[in-house]
Amino acid sequence: MIIRNGSCAFPGEDRLLRRDLRISDGRIVAIAESLGGQPGEDEFDATGLEIFPGAIDPHVHFDEPGFTHREDFRHGSMAAARGGVTAVIDMPCTSLPPVVNAEGFREKLEAIGETAVVDFALFGGVSGHRVEQALAGDMAELAPDVVGFKCYFVSGMDTFTAVDHYSFGKIARAAHGLGRPLLLHAEDPSVVLPATRFMHELAQREDREPTWDDYVDSRPESAELAAVAAARALARGIEPTLHVVHVGSAEAALEAVQGGASAETCPHYLAFSREDFSTRGAALKTAPPVKSRGQADRLWKLLADGTISFLASDHAPSTVAEKNTGSPWNDYGGIPGTGTMFPYAYSEGWRAGRLSLDAFLRCVSGGAAARYGLSGGKGTLAVGMDADLALVDPAGEWLVRGAELLSKGTITPFEGMRLAGSVRATFVRGTMVWDGERAARTGRAADGIVAAAGHGKLLRWGYR
């Protein structure tokens, strides 16, 4: 098929270029100012639309199997497709069993079955109560199937616990030996645990209900910085193996990158600060929490100059009841973000002039593809690459409504935000999976999903 006349985003360019794309067997096979059609060849008229490489969301919790009351691959991948995301990478910790060994990987793959509409890769993980098994063979067995390993310094999950510093050093060396990044949830327990106790006791002493400030102060910015510094010290000599997930402060990002590690941040750290809890409440609760005012501007600059490698959503929805327990301590920490990541970055990053075109492309697709061994087939608009495309109507606008995200999670801090541009269509390997025009016509977001469940397939390290 030919996609005609779109304004295309190519790497290294500072502006969009009007081109025709020919797609065959799911790949881009030709790019030219004008391509002659062949008899019987399908054509899609992209006049007036902008064409980006499909976004890659390298940090999602799709919760399957085990916690599918919160999210599953069907809904999560539909939300992704709607938001211009063509591939996600799922975290190992929020499923039962967690993906800590080959059996866990097989069970997750079986549970996903034929449900995803966008492509996906999986991370493996190392849980604190299985460090010995991980080092004795589980990591090595998992490595061919996963694009990285994840562990936590502080974990709120009984089924996937934190690792101590000593173990972390050994896990980092194992990951390095296996040629996979080690991802760290960087909050230091020697800050977070006592701070949490202190804030609980403070509210009791002052004889008042807990507040959002209590929650934010229980996980201060220093906890993140201390964790990154510790991780660097423990992985001395192999720091480029480390990747720090969902960094919320500029100091932590700089600390990570100065040692050669990489870092990601999330749209919620760019869009919000702790002051926003007063209006958004639990809808904004994540761990780590959003930081003080001023951090967002600094994070944008670090994204623009490449200090922070890419964006991720940390998509982690929950039920409405879990978000409304009546206590900031108990409300679920996590938001459905995979559907808002690319539209937010498009509107507030590239269109608003905070990111150059090249930086925008790195942040939403190329950076993650390179970090996780997928850049042989994903993350760039070029001949030979998968035809993973996000087509944006630049004249459109998107008013974010949680109920229409297509995720199982409907509570989002982005509720009511107006974003420039609307995702008109998303293609995964040349097949349209999201048809925004159809959804607009019927007035039902779900009608925009036009690919069969199961179109999404597993990606492994070295994909090409």
CA–CA dist 28, 310 (Å, integer): 24
Contacts of residue 327, defined as CB under 8 A and 6 or more positions apart, other chains included, come to 210
The CB-of-453 to Zn ion minimum distance in angstroms stands at: 24
The CB-of-150 to Zn ion minimum distance in angstroms stands at: 8
CA–CA dist 320, 73 (Å, integer): 19
Cβ proximity to Zn ion: between 125 and 402 the closer is 125
CA–CA dist 322, 331 (Å, integer): 6
The CB-of-159 to Zn ion minimum distance in angstroms stands at: 15
187 near Zn ion (CB under 5 A):
no
Number of residues that bind Zn ion (CB under 5 A): 1
The CB-of-123 to Zn ion minimum distance in angstroms stands at: 10
Q: Across the strands, what pairs with 6?
A: 19
Cβ proximity to Zn ion: between 251 and 314 the closer is 314
Cβ proximity to Zn ion: between 155 and 410 the closer is 155
The CB-of-74 to Zn ion minimum distance in angstroms stands at: 20
| Residue number closest to Zn ion, CB atom | 314
CA–CA dist 402, 418 (Å, integer): 13
Cβ proximity to Zn ion: between 138 and 314 the closer is 314
Side-chain-side CA neighbours of residue 292 (13 Å) = 8
The CB-of-250 to Zn ion minimum distance in angstroms stands at: 20
Q: Which of 58, 87, 79 is nearest to 387 (CA)?
A: 87
The CB-of-201 to Zn ion minimum distance in angstroms stands at: 28
Cβ proximity to Zn ion: between 93 and 174 the closer is 93
Cβ proximity to Zn ion: between 21 and 186 the closer is 186
Contacts of residue 92, defined as CB under 8 A and 6 or more positions apart, other chains included, come to 98, 99, 100, 104, 122, 123, 124, 125, 146, 149, 150, 160
Contacts of residue 370, defined as CB under 8 A and 6 or more positions apart, other chains included, come to 379
CA–CA dist 266, 280 (Å, integer): 17
Q: Identify whether the C-beta of residue 389 lies closer than 8 Å to the C-beta of residue 380.
A: no
Q: Identify whether the C-beta of residue 147 lies closer than 8 Å to the C-beta of residue 122.
A: yes
Contacts of residue 48, defined as CB under 8 A and 6 or more positions apart, other chains included, come to 393, 394, 395
Cβ proximity to Zn ion: between 57 and 314 the closer is 314
Cβ proximity to Zn ion: between 338 and 347 the closer is 338
Torsions phi, psi for 450 (to 5 deg)? -115, 0
The CB-of-153 to Zn ion minimum distance in angstroms stands at: 13
Cβ proximity to Zn ion: between 316 and 385 the closer is 316
Structure-token pair, residue 120: 């996906």
Q: Torsion angle of alpha carbons 295, 298, 299, 305, nearest 10°? A: -170
Give, as one character, the DSSP assignment of residue 335.
B
The CB-of-152 to Zn ion minimum distance in angstroms stands at: 9
Cβ proximity to Zn ion: between 137 and 156 the closer is 156
User: Site residues for Zn ion, window 292-351 (CB under 5 A)?
Assistant: 314
The CB-of-246 to Zn ion minimum distance in angstroms stands at: 6
- Buried-state track 23-46, b at ≥16 Cβ within 10 A, e below 16: beeebbeebeeebeeeeeeeebeb
Torsions phi, psi for 303 (to 5 deg)? -70, -45
* AA identity, residue 462: G
Structure-token pair, residue 250: 């500029």
DSSP H or E run through 45: strand 43-45
Torsions phi, psi for 383 (to 5 deg)? -60, 135
The CB-of-318 to Zn ion minimum distance in angstroms stands at: 13
Cβ proximity to Zn ion: between 210 and 289 the closer is 289
Give the binding site for Zn ion (CB under 5 A): 314
